[in-house]
Amino acid sequence: MSKLKKNLIVAAVLVAGFAAAFGSYLLFSPEDRNGGGRSVQPAAKALPVRESSHRLTEPKQSELTLVEFLDFECEACGAYFPAVEQLREKYGDRVTFVARYFPMPGHRNGELAARTAEAAARQGRFEEMYAKLFTTQKDWGEAQESKESVFRGYAEELGLDMDRFDADLTDPQVARRVEADQRDGLGLGVEGTPTFFLDGERIDNPGSYEEFKAILDAELAD
């Protein structure tokens, strides 16, 4: 059994555990977790993808759209990341890959990581920060203290304008952008991460890269 397949099997178990634990939760903003503020409610009309959603590929003639609701601190998302990257490399000229934020309760830095990615997106560097956060997840994930200084270091490594990055990281509009994805996820019944939608239909998380590839091949062959 390949290492990637083992990781995806473990990821599937983690996703099931999260879904069981949070099946009836309300997803809270940072203020809520600190004892105040407001909860994030489902969108009135939830959509798997919007014009503002972050597209990792933009084929000239897209045949499919694969959307992932993710949490950068989620171990299962980290386990799926290499498979998604392989799929992007193979199908990037035919499939639109979309990443949407869905930081989960209990992850101290999940929402902060999402804002970090969104702040990078404001400087046209979403994809680079998306990859950086996942490839370094073991260095900062599951920490109980804020990793803002670590994330600022990533921004510096990517050559971002740090004054602008710092301002965007605390900009309420950036937080609302993350919440907008969460609202759509909640409205679509997302209960754990990662959750995938293929052309608007939720799919069960594949247990291996080969299974994922087979799903895309079948849809592309229709």
* Cα maximum dimension of the chain: 51
How many domains in the chain?
1
Full pLDDT tens readout for the chain, 222 residues = 565 655 565 555 444 444 434 433 444 444 443 333 347 889 889 999 999 999 999 999 999 999 999 999 999 999 999 999 999 999 999 999 999 999 999 999 999 999 999 999 999 999 999 999 999 999 999 999 999 999 999 999 999 999 999 999 999 999 999 999 999 999 999 999 999 999 999 999 999 999 999 999 999 998
Give the structural domain span for 108: 3-221
Distance CA 152, CA 154 (A): 5
How much is the pLDDT for 44? Answer: 82
* CATH number reported for the structural domain that contains residue 105 in this entry: 3.40.30.10
- Among 69, 79, 63, 88, smallest CA distance to 27 is for 69
What is the per-residue pLDDT for 8?
A: 64
Q: What is the predicted pLDDT for the residue at 222? A: 84
Instruction: Give pLDDT, residue 6.
Output: 58
- Predicted pLDDT of residue 19: 45
Quote the pTM value.
Answer: 0.86
